[in-house]
Amino acid sequence: MPENAPADAALVAAAEQLGECDGYIVLAVDPQTGEVDAHGPYDGMAATVKADRLRREFDQGGLSDVFVVVARLHAAR
């Protein structure tokens, strides 16, 4: 089994738990500066993968205090 298999399984499980909506955005929030970056919209799996990629990039850059979250997107009707 590949070394990254458990992480991939966790991503799939997280994506399956996301509910019905018009899509998802990934938010990166820096508590030091108050800056917020939004990425998307994505479908559930793509948002989960993007959030995981951002989390790894921030961790590698020494920015472990930056919050990365997936948020539901609902179109205005």
Q: Are 42 and 23 in contact (CB under 8 A)?
A: yes
Which domain does 49 fall in, by range? Answer: 5-73
Q: Are 49 and 35 in contact (CB under 8 A)?
A: no
Strands (E), the chain: 23-29, 36-42, 67-73
**63: phi then psi, degrees, rounded to nearest 5:** -110, 55
What's the total number of domains in the chain? 1
Q: Are 50 and 59 in contact (CB under 8 A)?
A: no
pTM, whole model, 2 decimals? 0.72
pLDDT in tens, the chain (77 residues): 355 556 677 777 766 665 568 899 999 999 999 999 999 999 989 999 999 999 999 999 999 999 999 999 877 76
